[in-house]
Amino acid sequence: LDIQRAGQIDQASLFHPFTWVEDLKREGPNVITEGKGVRVKDIHGNEYLDGMAGLWCVNLGYGCQEVVDAIAAQSERLSFFHAFNGMSTDVVIECADELLKRAPVPMSRVFFGASGSDANETQIKLIWYYNNLLGRPKKKKIIARWNAYHGSGVLTSSLTGLPGMHNLFDLPIGPILHVTAPHHYRKAAEGQSEREFSRALAAELEELIAREGADTIAAFFAEPVMGAGGLIAPPEGYFEEIVPILRRHDILLVLDEVVSGFGRLGTYWGSQTINVEPDLITAAKGVTSGYFPMSACFISPKLWEVFEAEAPRAGVFAHGYTYSAHPVGAAAALAALKAIDDKKVVENVAEVGPYLHQAMRNAFADDPIVGEIRGIGLMIGIELVKNKATKEPFPASDRVGRRVLQAAAQKGLITRALGDTLVFAPPLVINKSEIDELVQKFKAAVDAVRPELG
């Protein structure tokens, strides 16, 4: 590709996801061409420490030879076959078995797809199918939280609690209800402790269920730590309060572990960090470490027993994608799962996650424009504010988060700006000296923007 013209050709041909067209016109794309370990290089040869593991997914880092080799070998042996009409492939069978062995609670089956969005769409259909099989056609509503991110499909965008993904699309549609995000820093009342805030959120949920009728509510979706909606860790007692309410009203709990699965929070599954037993789990991203598009819905015995007993009478689960069991994806996943074990990736996160949080606190705890540092494991968010005491944000039009992101890129660090919250979710193989470098580069980026902030 012509280096000089790459930007022009990009703009003439590519419609980028979630990208303001005028930003791209002004700045051009940053064209990344290669990666190794926790680092990537752009088309001009500049190197970056990738603080976002791509999009929360390249958990094993770039150029993980085991996964690369597995993809090449499987592509050569059998590049594609499906799992429809009684067909299967050896590698997909093995992958399903290995995933079930690693589930945090006993699970009966996995259903494969290609993305987190399609997996969450599948979850909704599994839930509706389940309640129809049980003769409860009214029990269909789904509760999600504001600030949640569950994907870009029409229903998963509706589940997603970000108005920016609803406006201009006439969403949300479907029987979707939203409750307050467990965002203590922004949503708790003055002086309210985390525990009290969690109790208030539980009361809100109880009221919603009473108003709508438990016989109309099928499921509750939650990310263990909310990602794209602002990097929000649950306040103390949150799931302890919420889960018994769901159980009491026979409302299924879906944990969206698209980001948190496979070690990101310092436990193999996010559910183990928050100490919750889900009925359904959505996994994607880290399942192949981002090397191949793949997702998996884990189905608990509670649902599976109903499917087995009732489906012969009522009808087939008429749902699936061409890539609902891609052998190359399965081979990539098998290699990634083995590498996670062999490289002791989860143990690494348990050690370097707290190190990252401490290093950020050391660098920024007293910083007058840092309102809050939050997150768990290798998921961290730093919220910048105009006034630390009052939590007053910078005017949105100042785009402070974006300016820091650009300053970081100039210093060789990739971050992500969720408004004025800068987030990091680096590859899970990152070591302490790379974390020191990440924090130091981020500090330099904040310091570069600071004088412009008035």
The residues of the shown chain that bind ligand PLP, judged by CB under 6 A, are 55, 115-117, 120, 149-152, 223, 227-228, 256, 258-259, 284
- By beta-carbon proximity to ligand PLP, the closer residue of 11 and 152 is 152
Cα-Cα-Cα-Cα dihedral sign, residues 184, 185, 187, 192: positive
- Burial classification of residue 416, based on how many CB atoms lie within 10 Å of its CB (0-12 exposed, 13-18 middle, 19 or more buried): buried
What are the tokens at 45? 């040869």
Beta-carbon neighbour count of residue 13 at 10 Å? 7
What DSSP string describes 117-186?
Answer: HHHHHHHHHHHHHHHHHTT-TT--EEEEETT----SSHHHHHHS--GGGTTTTT---SSEEEE----HHH
Contacts for 21 with CB less than 8 Å, ≥ 6 apart: none
Buried b (16+ CB within 10 A) or exposed e, 210-243: eeeeeeebbbbbbbbbbbbbbbbbbbebbbbbbb
Rounded least distance, CB 301 to ligand PLP, Å? 24
* CA neighbor of 373 nearest in space, from 360, 359, 392, 355: 360
Bridge partner residues of 281 (DSSP): 255, 298
- By beta-carbon proximity to ligand PLP, the closer residue of 283 and 299 is 283
- By beta-carbon proximity to ligand PLP, the closer residue of 154 and 200 is 154
Report the Cα 410 to chain-centroid distance in Å. Answer: 26
How, if at all, do strands 217-222 and 141-145 pair? parallel
Rounded least distance, CB 258 to ligand PLP, Å? 4
Rounded least distance, CB 320 to ligand PLP, Å? 17
- By beta-carbon proximity to ligand PLP, the closer residue of 175 and 286 is 286
Instruction: Report the SS3 class of residue 210.
Output: helix
Rounded least distance, CB 55 to ligand PLP, Å? 6
Rounded least distance, CB 437 to ligand PLP, Å? 25
How many Cα atoms sit within 13 Å of 454 on the Cβ side? 5
- By beta-carbon proximity to ligand PLP, the closer residue of 223 and 279 is 223
- By beta-carbon proximity to ligand PLP, the closer residue of 225 and 407 is 225
- The span from the CA of 363 to the CA of 305, in Å, is 52
- By beta-carbon proximity to ligand PLP, the closer residue of 230 and 393 is 230
Rounded least distance, CB 57 to ligand PLP, Å? 8
- By beta-carbon proximity to ligand PLP, the closer residue of 359 and 415 is 415
The residue number with the shortest CB distance to ligand PLP is 116
* CA neighbor of 437 nearest in space, from 33, 38, 31, 34: 38
* CA neighbor of 410 nearest in space, from 437, 376, 448, 381: 448
CB 298 within 8 A of CB 283: yes
- By beta-carbon proximity to ligand PLP, the closer residue of 256 and 383 is 256
